[in-house]
Amino acid sequence: DAPTLFNAHFINKYAEKGSGFEIEHYRQLHQWHLWQTKEKSNSRLPVDFQERCYDIFISEEPTVSKLQDDVVAQLLHIGLETKEEVLVGSGYRIDALVKVNGKTIGIEADGPSHFIGRSKSPSGSTILKRRQVSSIDGIELVSVPY
């Protein structure tokens, strides 16, 4: 049960630590906060700390791969209006957004780093992104694997 496991003591200890985190820890805390918000939990980060986590989460500059360029080129070729590297409300960036029959669809060009080893099994961070974007932002994601 999330409220029991991540109680006020846990949250206060994290908040007290303040700037002693690695960048990746702030990003993970933002993802945890998204989960807590989605679950309507009473366990929340203090607002200023939550905002810091969000700011760090969105601060990473997007990199566009050749695969992503190729996917976007094909979407444009078939006549779909495409927006690239879209920052959505949850803080995630979507490689491309298209509208199909009035519905917004997110397109993710998933290279090897989105999978476990040499398999086609998505990594934990890829699964989490798909779940959170779908449930929080209401955007269906379609993966175009390498």
Say what the pTM is.
0.86
Give pLDDT, residue 1.
46
Residues 6+ apart with CB under 8 A from 121: 115
- Give tens-digit pLDDT for 10-37: 777 766 766 678 999 999 999 999 998 8
What average pLDDT does this structure show over 114-123? 93
Give Cα 46 to chain centroid, integer Å.
21
What average pLDDT does this structure show over 36-63? 89
Q: Indicate if the pLDDT at residue 68 is higher than 90.
A: yes
Mean pLDDT of the chain: 90
